[in-house]
Structure 1
């Protein structure tokens, strides 16, 4: 009997607990709907449904989210701009943005209409559903491997949800791994902005490696008869088109913003570094362009074509907090192992703006146009004021270089200051008027002698000879920039000691640069010391009458951390020191140019030299487009590869015309074979006499195409037929380039083979 009294109450408790569990499941079933079909929601007025700024929702730590899409009916309007409406789910932090005029919707989660067809399983299925995912490692365990986990899979909680005047803020709490990530969403004008507040990040025993915040924003799977693509800033720009993944290809794009950090990864590759913190996604009639506006120096861009991680095509910043590096165990750094940095990279905020494009103006040209507007409004860039109606002609003159000898290096003279006058004079007599000179290899010892640049080598004419050349150039209204590299030092000048002043990686090893041509190793200068040295030299440039400095192979182009305790600096500090130098140079001398500049340098320079016009040829990339050139034309001048160093001469000439690039040549007065074996300037065919007629002929063609549109923005670009491209400028002027070996005709126009035509009034329909 007593036994029955024990059993019956226990059974009753079990029944009650089961009933309570069922009630809880039903009560919270509206938090997520399992793979729902699209739900059409009725718009709710802001005044009826918006949460007042400052209102704090209770934390949901006790109700871990289910692994499914958010329920569309749980979203409510949080705020509005003139054109957009922000809808928010305050239980998950997921949001969607509605275009008030067209009704288009961009979601921070997978499109419900397509989710039913998603086949990916396991962790990555959960990752795609989650508003945030992190990669982490246990640094206390030497055998630990990096792992990725999503907020949903980690039974996350959304803490401290609070409405703000322009959106909301909340903290994503990862219950298992104990990470806490404070974020904020802001709606402004034509964009929505996501923010991670680094100072508020909390870690438990595990170490954060990177964060992907709202990685599925705007994501879309391939749909037949609907054009879609991802835009990545590889070279001039590259499109990864939406298409069926018939080969089960798992390739994806992942690149460091502003290139690799040599303090962690000191290996040269042939890939184009990522210069612009920009990306985009187009799906049918809607599209966005994303711009990383703060903290991007510690970011990568991650782009996944359909089939790589699920059927969706998506692109997102991957915010870096620690990075893998090679820990050397030998003096020659040939042996060692990979590990992760212990200290976390911190910046005040990490921001991404998603500019939502209008229907009907949503291709890569519209993306570039929006980025151009960002550069003018946020970075203060002004429309270009052309010097004349003729296009600029960029002339690199090589003074000298050296090559290895049996006992000592041999000096290879290329162009004295007197000969430089002759080169310029010959160009002028052939009708090439708007010249800008960039004089390289002028320092003692020539181009490959780094450190202690002044005075000008006496064998070229010394300081006095350079002054006379610059005075002559000024009499012809020609500016002269002196080319300089402050990133390397192999002379010991400027008081440089590699052991004290060399850049060091995280393990404390002094880093060296390997010359591709001769495998010679040269010490890298601590970045802060390089900018300090360049700043001190400004008065010497000014004394010569130079109009500016052309920084190549370094400042404005490479961004590295430094673990030399004398000059300790992270990427953010180096970025700021480079910007300060560029600004000081422009203020002191009047101008500054940079080779293949990073975005943080663009608003400080007058010219970008050797801007890439080809991509890295990844197998998953479908098309190359002039995204960078469309964004920059009319704001700043830029040139591509030197005309006399082209590999495919006519094709690369036509690409310059298509991309709106200006002509550039690299010349010496010495014979073409005179620089053979040089450490750095080993290029062939540099003797100016061999190129005068061709340069004059090309200059006339450049003027025909670009002379009267120097200050105009590019407003259109498309493919008319295979290897036939159209570029349109503000005033309607249209250039059609035919790369084919046969004439192109569509019944309205005829474009000769391997040539271009100019249509003043545009292509008639």
Structure 2
């Protein structure tokens, strides 16, 4: 009996052993966590650069340009040899500007401006004049046709060329060469230390650590409380007796004390290169040095390059729409300054409200003064840039335009329950990239000539992809709306189902009918053809909408259009996930891009009234970059199966970074990936249609639709001009908005005539009433039967008068009055456009109100 009990007890104890081991592990882990201190992170001080001395102008000259830099401020001038024009990095008389306060004068004298931010989002701006040049914490490194300036920016004590520590023999030797009163004055600001005659207050160990030479020599040490004006006086006295910068560096080696400052210090390098007739400015990310607790938020290189003064005549060119001019000293000082984001908003940066989306689809700005001008082309890093401009009379007397780059992206958190202020998180790691912008100088003050220089740049940059097209008639983009989604009742349950607006056979009939009525060179975009309709589900797989017809019907439509000289493009969304779930192949936790917070990139529509997010409407996700690229390839491959081209709703227009934990992509990296994809499609012979047409995408596109021709006509702007169109016309086909659903068909036709655009229309077979009780009321004017006659009237006249110009370069443009413009082409064709409500007459040319006239 006892033996059986003993065996049972042993078996019970054996069963408890695993639980006991787990218990001991947990207790041990708790004990370790409680009693083990986290290692303290060592916070290394950022070493500032030191001024290298010298007062002689530093010059580099490549035969076409001559750059002369003032070593005391790093301001410089650029002489254009063939014209004799001299441009300045900063206004020459900025320090005497009566309209500027001292802080504004410091900005005007700075070749570099940067800002940093903190967790609470507070942004602090440093300029290179007040926070680097005046403190002497920078160095200039000349090279072959280049100059590198290494700036340290911060609130640090200015460096003076005086002995911080000196041996008694050397120190007293200098004093012996001075007048006695000067020597006696200087002695008051130095303390003498003798290791054998220390006072009770002196810490021997600390002195030996800070000044090791004290063990064998008597030394003099500058008192830390010595004020800046006294240091300047001491510097003058020492300089007079032959104390040099080399002596200073040698004396600094005797001082091993740590004089670090708690103030934020930032290191930024700017490289100026002369390349032919171009000045190239670079800011390498690898040379940016800052404390992660105070990340660099923005950098603005050469903020006032070419700034126009109060007596100068000229204008600034900004990339609003096709282009816009802001005249120097236009008096619009009560208007907001100009600002736009290059390529629009980065959708992987969260925001809680949207008042107005600013965007430019090309990164170029410029300045014209008299008979000379320059354009600044943003190259590497342009996706981080915004372009800003303002006129004289607000904070100072100068007109300026520049590019401001976002460096460490940030995201705001709602922590109202635990903090009274906003909390921001910043991107922790910078990519190995470089900001690069190119200043190209033009021996003309005309924006037309500036545009032609830009055109040459694009043709060289994309050699072989921007040759003249062979159009013999006006290009026409025809969007056919296949299906949309509409909520229907199924067994009493509201369910979203595709609603047919135009079947494949109907689309075939529309395009055939237009062709029979004389419309040619049609680029047909078929929207809503797969995965549920216009707002399609993700392209994990493609399934045509059954209500539109069979796959054979779709292929017949494409082939018939092709046989008649037209091209069909199948439209798709590749960067976003709408109304998609696991059944469609989309899992948001896996497939969505990630914000900086590593939350899913969940996007919303915004109210036009409150500007805030609409939580219940149009929720969608930004896709992870690699998945978006995969879906783009899927769209192209599927389009090929139907012998069609591919139309991208978003690629080539929207550009977003991705902070996905396992694979992060900067916005600039995504730009590079988009270029690679579009280039590969082009080289494979796949026709590609894109929207908007970012400058890096248009060389590889067969057609660009919805190009923003006029932009937002802000009050500060003085003229709208087709700068971008002057650069690319005849080399790529493009259109403005669909004429029949843009809101003002008359204006859109006039815009197209002035800007050399083709025409775009959106059609559906169903009546406009079919879109009622849906979220697609923008198609209110798309009924083909209702618009056919007017469309043919607009097209026939437009093609007859302008069809011959689309394979030519645009060679001239002028705003004759506030309402009348004239555009000229290579063969001498002139297009007069009158936006006004009264007739305009110039010689034998009469332009009726709200109309255009073509002369040949």
TM-score per shorter chain, which class?
0.7 to 0.9
| Partners of 2:676 and 2:545 in 1: CA distance | 29
Matched, 1:326 2:412: yes
Q: Secondary structure at the match of 2:437?
A: strand
| Partners of 1:330 and 1:391 in 2: CA distance | 57
Cα 1:60–1:454 shift into 2, 3 Å:
closer
Partner of 2:151: 172
Matched, 1:81 2:63: yes
How many residues are aligned here?
679
CA displacement at 1:616 relative to structure 2: 2.0
Matched, 1:632 2:731: no
Partner of 1:409: 496
Out of 382, 394, 400, the residue aligned to residue 296 of structure 1 is 382
8 Å CA contact 2:635–2:646 kept in 1: the answer is no
8 Å CA contact 1:426–1:692 kept in 2: the answer is no
Q: What does the per-residue CA deviation read over 1:151-187, in whole Å, with 9 as the maximum and x for residues that have no partner?
A: 2211434655333322222312225343222221111
Partner of 1:432: 519
Cα 1:565–1:60 shift into 2, 3 Å:
closer
Specify every segment of 5 or more residues in structure 2 that has no aligned partner in the other structure, as ranges: 1-48, 157-263, 608-615
| Partners of 2:620 and 2:513 in 1: CA distance | 37
8 Å CA contact 1:528–1:574 kept in 2: the answer is no
Q: What does the per-residue CA deviation read over 1:72-110, in whole Å, with 9 as the maximum and x for residues that have no partner?
A: xx545411334x322233443322111223321101111
8 Å CA contact 1:450–1:486 kept in 2: the answer is no
Matched, 1:149 2:149: no
Partner of 1:496: 586
Partner of 1:48: none
Partner of 2:810: 714
| Partners of 2:440 and 2:99 in 1: CA distance | 30
8 Å CA contact 1:705–1:735 kept in 2: the answer is no
Matched, 1:378 2:461: yes
8 Å CA contact 1:108–1:131 kept in 2: the answer is yes
Stretch moving more, 658-667 or 447-456: 447-456
| Partners of 1:498 and 1:436 in 2: CA distance | 35
Question: After superposition, where does 1:304-343 map in structure 2 within 5 Å?
Answer: 304-329=390-415, 337-343=422-428
Stretch moving more, 529-538 or 720-729: 529-538
| Partners of 2:366 and 2:328 in 1: CA distance | 13
| Partners of 1:716 and 1:739 in 2: CA distance | 19
Question: After superposition, where does 1:745-760 map in structure 2 within 5 Å?
Answer: 745-760=841-856
Matched, 1:571 2:667: yes
Question: After superposition, where does 1:292-691 map in structure 2 within 5 Å?
Answer: 292-329=378-415, 337-358=422-443, 361-380=444-463, 382-406=465-489, 407-452=494-539, 454-489=542-577, 490-492=579-581, 495-515=585-605, 519-546=617-644, 548-552=645-649, 554-588=650-684, 590-680=686-776, 682-691=778-787
8 Å CA contact 1:91–1:158 kept in 2: the answer is no
| Partners of 1:740 and 1:477 in 2: CA distance | 38
Q: What does the per-residue CA deviation read over 1:489-535, in whole Å, with 9 as the maximum and x for residues that have no partner?
A: 22235521012211221122223333569923122222321111222
Q: What does the per-residue CA deviation read over 1:657-691, in whole Å, with 9 as the maximum and x for residues that have no partner?
A: 01101011100111122122333464212111222
| Partners of 2:286 and 2:425 in 1: CA distance | 21
Q: What does the per-residue CA deviation read over 1:412-455, in whole Å, with 9 as the maximum and x for residues that have no partner?
A: 21111111111011101111011111101000321123213612
Q: What does the per-residue CA deviation read over 1:238-278, in whole Å, with 9 as the maximum and x for residues that have no partner?
A: 222222547x5373223322112222243545434121111
Q: Secondary structure at the match of 2:379?
A: strand
CA displacement at 1:115 relative to structure 2: 5.9
Cα 1:448–1:680 shift into 2, 3 Å:
farther
Matched, 1:127 2:107: yes
Cα 1:534–1:76 shift into 2, 3 Å:
closer
Q: Secondary structure at the match of 2:630?
A: helix
8 Å CA contact 2:472–2:807 kept in 1: the answer is no
Partner of 1:50: none
Question: After superposition, where does 1:180-219 map in structure 2 within 5 Å?
Answer: 180-204=267-291, 206-219=294-307
Partner of 1:732: 828
| Partners of 1:161 and 1:709 in 2: CA distance | 52
8 Å CA contact 1:455–1:462 kept in 2: the answer is no
8 Å CA contact 1:327–1:338 kept in 2: the answer is yes
Out of 76, 86, 89, the residue aligned to residue 95 of structure 1 is 76
Cα 1:265–1:597 shift into 2, 3 Å:
farther
Cα 1:288–1:736 shift into 2, 3 Å:
same
Pairwise CA RMSD of aligned residues? 2.6
| Partners of 2:843 and 2:555 in 1: CA distance | 57
| Partners of 1:313 and 1:458 in 2: CA distance | 60
Partner of 2:796: 700
Cα 1:536–1:754 shift into 2, 3 Å:
closer
8 Å CA contact 1:501–1:564 kept in 2: the answer is no
Which structure has the greater CA radius of gyration?
2
8 Å CA contact 2:729–2:810 kept in 1: the answer is yes
**TM-score after normalising by structure 2:** 0.75
Q: Secondary structure at the match of 1:153?
A: helix
8 Å CA contact 1:79–1:165 kept in 2: the answer is no
Out of 360, 364, 372, the residue aligned to residue 286 of structure 1 is 372
CA displacement at 1:319 relative to structure 2: 2.2
CA displacement at 1:340 relative to structure 2: 4.6
| Partners of 2:803 and 2:629 in 1: CA distance | 36
Partner of 1:271: 357
Q: Secondary structure at the match of 2:265?
A: coil
8 Å CA contact 1:86–1:167 kept in 2: the answer is no
| Partners of 2:105 and 2:425 in 1: CA distance | 27
Cα 1:512–1:341 shift into 2, 3 Å:
same
CA displacement at 1:637 relative to structure 2: 0.9
CA displacement at 1:387 relative to structure 2: 4.3
Partner of 1:61: 51
| Partners of 1:199 and 1:394 in 2: CA distance | 45
| Partners of 1:426 and 1:536 in 2: CA distance | 32
8 Å CA contact 2:486–2:497 kept in 1: the answer is yes
CA displacement at 1:589 relative to structure 2: 5.1
| Partners of 1:758 and 1:250 in 2: CA distance | 37
8 Å CA contact 2:349–2:410 kept in 1: the answer is yes
Q: Secondary structure at the match of 1:600?
A: coil
